[in-house]
Amino acid sequence: MVVDQSFLKVKKYFLLIIFFLLFTSNGYSNNYKFTKIIDLDEPWGSSFINNEEIIITEKKGKIKIVNFISKEVTEVKHNLNFLEAGQGGLLDIIYQDNTLWISYSEDRGDSKTSTSIAKAQLNKLELNFKNIFQANPPIDSGYHFGSRLVIKDDYIYASAGERGQGMIAQDPTKHPGSIIRIHTDGRIPKDNPKFTGEPDWLPEIYQIGVRNPQGLTLSDYDGKIYLSNHGARGGDWFGEAKKGENYGWKILGWGGKNYSGIPIGPKWKPGFTKAIQYWVPSIATSAITIYKGDEFKEWNGHALVTSLKDKSLRKLIFNDLTNVKEDLIFRNNIGRIRDIQVHPVNGKIYFLANNSLWLMEKS
């Protein structure tokens, strides 16, 4: 049998094209190298405590310090009165100046929990946390705790989810469904909305109308706080935290629908905070950061948005809000992404994804 060599060349060419399209359609890029550092059990939040160690929460209740050079793992005892309930457990953690702050689902009795914040001095053997905030009222629900933490100056900002209660996010006499702003020791800032034009608001509330905000970050470039938020069936978004304003949940649906398929409300309307970027259908936005570093210096000042459902990393160029540009960096390389951290010295990126700690660097 004589084989037509030109036919074989054409066949090989088309196979290469198909191979390329399959990988690029999944966000594959050979520009990045991914390294799994260590396996974990439902990791949720992380924070660098020095140039070689990162402290990590696991939703089920453990706090671990990982040396990503030696891969040594130290489990740290703690005294948090938490309840792992659905999406709740140990959530975000942030380190600064030998001090830790943590958000968690606090056990308030009778199956009720709240998104709470506690503070402790760093001790690698045992952490003695003391509460500085509780989201009230406590609710019997395993849904939508939020919850990320950001420090700016002497303030800590926190996102508190609406616990699946919908319109509670429009009630400023209740904490769920809002952005919280307190001093790092728990004191109430005297310039929060309650004292500057919104007397009916609880004193800790900075902004209302959010659903399940699992991303929160400070930009070193403009000093602003940014957040990401889960919609329902669609309506995820990225936007700025703005004092005294309202993102509109559950009056607005941000382009999404109820899980029953019934439309929720308009994407946006005047009188409410408008997000910078929306995703319909949902990508299940999780953690975010505004990149600053040397490894990917061409990304400096751009937002990096991670996702759970879409298993992707997306980059937003948003210096011109009339022309926001979105790039898909990768998809399906490391699984569902829960958290993202940029190394403070070299700018390499660390992810909590697929029950593991991952490193991303240029290949």
Predicted confidence at residue 22, as pLDDT, reads 44
> Tokens 């594959």 map to which residue?
28
pLDDT of residue 261: 87
In order of their start, the domains of the chain are 32-362 (2.120.10.30)
Residue 27's pLDDT is what?
A: 43
Quote the pTM value: 0.91
With a cut of 50, list the residues of the chain below it in pLDDT: 1, 3, 7-8, 10, 15-28
What local confidence, expressed as pLDDT, does residue 260 receive? 87
Looking at residue 20, what is its pLDDT? 44
